Amino acid sequence: MSAPAVRRAVVDRDVCVGAGQCVLAAPDVFDQSDEDGLSYVLVDPLPEELTPSVRDAATRCPARAVQLEAGAGAGAETGAAAETGTGADPAADRQPTGPSPA
């Protein structure tokens, strides 16, 4: 069984670092601001045929700023949660990136 289509993508601009990986993966869906370099969504709602590229964009985002809402009432996915976690709690799915506290 395949994953449900992505209904909508959102970029958390408070988290976005402007790496542009989402734009490279899905240029029909994402762009970057000329003013601050942060990404934003061009298309809402998303056509079903863009689901693979949007999932790729979320996975590539180093800041995990791309959030996905699946169709048919499914929960939101954030960043690599679609690939590595449950997607039910994106904060819990994130792996720590810094040194462990002493």
Residue 70: strand, helix, or coil? strand
Is 30 inside any structural domain? yes
37: domain CATH number is 3.30.70.20
Residue range 23-56, pLDDT digits in tens:
999 999 999 999 999 999 999 999 999 999 999 9
Residue range of the domain that includes 35: 6-83
Residue range 76-88, pLDDT digits in tens:
555 544 433 333 3
Q: Using alpha carbons, select from 59, 57, 48 the residue that is nearest to residue 81.
A: 59
Is 92 inside any structural domain? no
Q: What percent of the chain has pLDDT over 90?
A: 62
